[in-house]
Structure 1
């Protein structure tokens, strides 16, 4: 549970980091590896701007980037789910080794538990660390490549704020939906996590009203893609259904054992 909370906090931290990135324009004359990566992303978006629609280019490029990162997402989810399954055992260890004086013993017991089940508690962070530079470069392209700030899409000027707040609302709504879906199948949901699930969309909306519409469009599309991604690869409704089925089978198995023992006892 703490890991899920930490992931959300990392997401907020990443957004704050993005807002603090350089503001100078990136052009073909820019030097440095980071500037060239941003320019490459910008050129790719321009190449996908069919009919001269930069907004369409942003949408297509965002979907392509998110699609490429699906394997990283699946690995992250797999690691998080494995760790989630160990939460009851981890809580048991915490009750067995309470207090600071047992901190080392608790850490040793936890590591032994992870090793026994083949779980790496930090594995889900690796895909996140790989994704951040990619998303930061995309953000940089949308904010620092002049050609991407001069386009229009539907009702918005991509270089200006959305005057009707529609894109920030969509970005926040899809953020809330994705976090809600992600945590719906969780066995344990702390109050802090529930608060974060509410605060993160609020932060996305607030930040979305203060940045260019191009970035808000990216966030809306990216978070919408994540909702679809969750429903396809980590559908909480299917997970709950499967868990209930397994629990029902386990109850039935135990009931059969009890009936068999009772029947055997009567025949004695």
Structure 2
């Protein structure tokens, strides 16, 4: 599980780095060149703009709709990830017993622990990394949507000095600037915590730490980034909370004595 935690941390760091490795300070247009802008970012920007124009220029509603559409698009991956987490949760009691049995820190004992762990995974047809692959696959889609939000002048006028349109309002905030009342950042952090709490395996101290670190990071980012991005985080988190509830129930992260349900995490 430490390796899995490390992989998740690397992916989060990679996502943060990638958001700054492209033309984030240039508006996205139909004339934008390059595979990333032409085939990932611009189509999402065009979709948001088209939906907004159909809804009386409500870019806030457009962001909500596109967020939901993207979440539906990657839903099969998220279901696989959720079920993999549930399968890992189901065998936690056996994993705990193995750690207690091989608690010594010498190399030979730890090698024996790893062997026993692998046998346990094979016995229940569980792939401990199965929940990480969907994250890797969906990252480009979500990063592209992040770019589409901050590089569409109608949403973030500061990205294009030649844009003369009025700032887009939604509810109590402007989409192109940070929420002045910090309501969205707090909601984004709270929904991130709830979503991770529902998915957390209670016997995993590394994931427990991540459960508290990630909401703080989200609040910090959302407090300074355009409110449109915080809105995207909130809607995405709410979608995942509902998804997790209906796929696995509200207690996915709680240990129980039932037989492991590993049907969704088999190696294929």
Normalised by the length of structure 2, the TM-score is 0.79
Q: Post-superposition shift, 1:97?
A: 7.8
Matching of residues 80-229 of structure 1 within 5 Å: 80-94=85-99, 95-96=101-102, 98=104, 99-150=106-157, 151-183=168-200, 186-190=201-205, 192-229=206-243
Distance 1:178 1:8 in 2: 15
Counterpart-to-counterpart distance in 1, 2:214 and 2:252: 26
CA radius of gyration, larger in: 1
Structure 2 Cα separation of the partners of residues 81 and 112 of structure 1:
19
Structure 1's unaligned 5+ residue stretches are 248-268
What residue number does 2:9 align with? Answer: 9
Contact 2:199 2:253 in 1 (8 A): no
Matched, 1:77 2:91: no
**Structure-2 separation of matches of 1:218 and 1:119:** 33
In structure 2, the CA distance between the partners of 1:119 and 1:180, relative to structure 1 (3 Å rule), is: closer
For the aligned residues, what is the CA RMSD?
2.7
3-state SS of paired residue (1:146): coil
Shift of residue 60, structure 1, vs aligned partner? 0.5
What do the CA deviations read for 1:177-231 (whole angstroms, capped 9, x no partner)? Answer: 2122223xx45253x4333322221111111011011111111111121222222
Aligned length: 242
CA distance in 2, matches of 1:115, 1:54: 49
User: Please, which runs of 5 or more residues in structure 2 have no aligned partner?
Assistant: 158-167, 260-268
Per-residue deviation at 1:14? 5.0
CA spacing shift, 1:97–1:167, aligned 2, 3 Å: closer
Q: Which moved more, 1:51-60 or 1:166-175?
A: 166-175
1:44 aligns with 2:41: no
Q: Name whichever structure is richer in helix by fraction.
A: 1
Flag the 1:21–1:152 CA change in 2: closer, same or farther, 3 A. farther
* CA separation of 1:6 and 1:235: change in aligned 2, threshold 3 A: farther
For the residue of structure 1 that corresponds to 2:29, the secondary structure is: coil
C-alpha separation in 2, matches of 1:68 and 1:13: 24
**48-57 or 84-93, which deviates more:** 84-93
Deviates more, 1:197-206 or 1:108-117: 108-117
What is the distance in 2 between the residues matched to 1:238 and 1:168?
26
How far off is 1:65 after superposition? 0.8
Q: Which residue pairs with 2:165 in the alignment?
A: none
**What SS is found at the alignment partner of 1:44?**
helix
1:239/1:31 Cα in 2 relative to 1: closer, same or farther (>3 Å)?
closer
Contact 2:80 2:134 in 1 (8 A): yes
